[in-house]
Structure 1
C-alpha cells in the first residue's frame, strides 16, 4: 500500500471541521500519536463508524484491538453527517434483485434494518449521550414521488418491516411545518443522533474494553503478510488482521480502492436555537429527507436548532460559502425562517461507488476493507462492523454476500469521472424538478 494522502489543507487534521457537532461534542481524552512498535490481534485504520463499530465488536469478543486515526475520532464523515438513521442501502432491495438475483437480494435484505438496531443497542448498552430521537420521514415533492413512497412501503413490508405509515399532504404538513410535500412516509423505527457524539461514545466504549486508539497517526504503509505490519511515521503495529476503514478519506493509501470510488462533498448548516419560536416546525421531532436524486435532509438538534443539509459536489471540492448553497434550499422548505441567523456551516465527504452499493472485500487473506456507503453510511457502517468482526472470527457468510457484489471503475477514470457523473446528476435533478 502507498502512503495515505494528508487530509485536505482546508480541514486541519488536528481539529474538527467548524461544525455545530464539534462545538457540542463530548469531552475527549488526550489520545497520543503512535510511537514505537506494538502488537495486536487486529489493527484498524480509521476511527470513523466503520472502524469503531468493527473494533467494538471485536473487543467484545476478546480481541486485542488497536485503531490508528490520521486525525481525530470521528473527524471525517462520521462526525459531520446529517445524523439520520436511514435503513437499507443506496440502492433498494428490488433494484438489487433485478441486477444480482434473488439470492443476493435475500441475503442483503435480511440485513437491511440491522444497522439501526445496532446503533440503538450501543447507545443503551454503553449509555452514549448522543441525543437519540426516534422517527424519520421520507417526503414526496411530486405525484411520481408519491408512487415511489407507496412502492417503498410495500417493498419494506414484504421484508418484514412494518413500522411504516404513509401520510397525506395535510398530515405531512402537521409533522413537518412545511407545505412543500404531497406525502410523507413515516418510519417509526428510524431516528436521528448527534453523529460526532455517537462516534466519541463508541470510542470511549472501546477503550473501556481495553482497545487502544492513537490519533494524529496517519498510516504510511501496510506490509502484507502473516502477520501484517502497519506503519506510521513514528511507529508500527504488527497484527494478525487489518481492517482498512478510511472511506472517503483513503487518499492514495490503496490505489485499487480509489479507482472504483469517488469522494463527494455535502454541506450542512445549523441555525441559531429557535427556542419557542416556530412551534409548527417538526413538532414530532422526526428527521426528514426528500425523494429527490440530489436530496435535502433536515432535523432539529437537542437545543432546537434546525440542521439542514443537501447538495452534492462531485470530487469533494470544499465550497467557499456553505450558507450561500444551503440557505436557499432551507427557505424553500421553511420560508418563515428568512430572518433566522445561521450559526454554523460545514462540509464533509462521503464516498460514492458506481453501483451505489458498498464495496467490501479483502486486499489479502488477512487485510479487509469496507468503503463506498454512497450516502447510507450511518447505519451501514454499524452493520458492516459486525459483519467484518464475524469474518475475522471465521464466519464469513454475511461478509461474502457483500464481497461478491461486482464493482467497476467510474467511466472516464479519475480524470473524467467528476464531469461525467455531474452531467448524469444534472439530468436526474432536472427530472425531479419537472416531476417526471
Structure 2
C-alpha cells in the first residue's frame, strides 16, 4: 500500500453514498473512521503521520473553540442568573425592611391604642360609680321631699278661721282615664299657706318652711393624651431664648470687630443669624421627645385627683393636697421642659410619706428629683404628678375651675390669673 487516503475520505465517502441513496449506518461509519485513524497512526510515512497530527490538532482546536463558545454562553447565563438573584435579594431585603417598619409602627400604635382603651375603661368605671352616687343622692332628696309633704299635710289647723279645704289633684296615668275628684285635706300647713292667701290679717307671721339646701357642685374634669402630640405645643425649649441671643451677638462681633475678608465675614455672620432664627422659632422637630413620652390620663372629681399611664394609676384625695400649681417642670426631656401639674401635700397627711412618679414621664429617663423622696421630707417642694399635653382654651378654664372648686387655696402657676 503506497499511500493512505486522507481522513477526510471517510466523510466524503459517507456523503457520496448518502447522495446515492445508500447511506452508511452509524456503526459502519464509526468503524471506518476508527480504521482510518488507526491506519494513519500506524503508518511509517512521515507525511502521513504529519497529516494525521495536523488533523488531530485541527480537531482539538475545533473542539476547544466549541468548548470556549459553550463556556462563554454558560458564563453569560450564570452572570444573568447572578444579577437576577442579587436583584431578588435586594427586593426581599427592601420588602422585609418595609414590613418590619410597618410592624413597628403598628405595634407602637397598638400600644397607644391599648393604653387609651384602658384609660377609657377606667374612666367608664369611674363614671358608673359617679352615676351610682348621684342616684343615691337623688333617692335621699326624694325621701326628704316626701317627708316635707307629709309634714305639711299633718300640721294643725288655723284656730282663727274655719277649716280650709285644699284640692290636691292626682296625676292621670292613662291618656283616656277619667280624672278623679279633688281630694280634700283639712288643716292648714306650711305647704298650704303658700298656695292660698290668708282670709284675715294676722298679727303674728307663721314660720317659713325650711328651704332645701342646694348640694355643693361636684364637677368632673377628664382629659387624655396619646403621647403622639407635638411636644413643641406643651414643652419649653430654654435654648430658644438664650442661644439666639448668643449667636446674634457672635454675628455682630464677627461682622464689626473681626478682621478678614468681607466675604468670609458676611458668610459666617449670615450663618450665625440663620441658626439664631431657627432656634428662636424652635423649628427643629422634637421627634425624639415625642417617641419617649407615654400616653396618660388626668381625672379630677369629687374623690380626688387621679393620674394614670402605662406604668399604673395614682390617686390622691383632696384632703391631703395643700397646693396645686401648673408650671414647667424643672427636669427636662431631651432639653425640653414639659408643662406639668405639680402639688404640695400636707405634711401630716399619710399620703405625704410615699414617693410619687410623674404620669407620662419616659421610662428610659430617671425620674425628676422631687419624685425620688417622700413629700414629707421636703414639704415646700413642688412634686410633678402628671405631664400635661395640648389643652384648648375651654379645657384650661375647666381645669382651673375644677381645681378651684375642690381646693382650699386657688391653684397657682401660669393659669392662676
TM-score (norm 1): 0.22
Indicate the structure with greater strand content: 1
Could you say which structure has the greater relative contact order, defined with CA pairs below 8 angstroms and 6 or more residues apart?
1
Indicate the structure with greater helix content: 2
Larger radius of gyration: 2
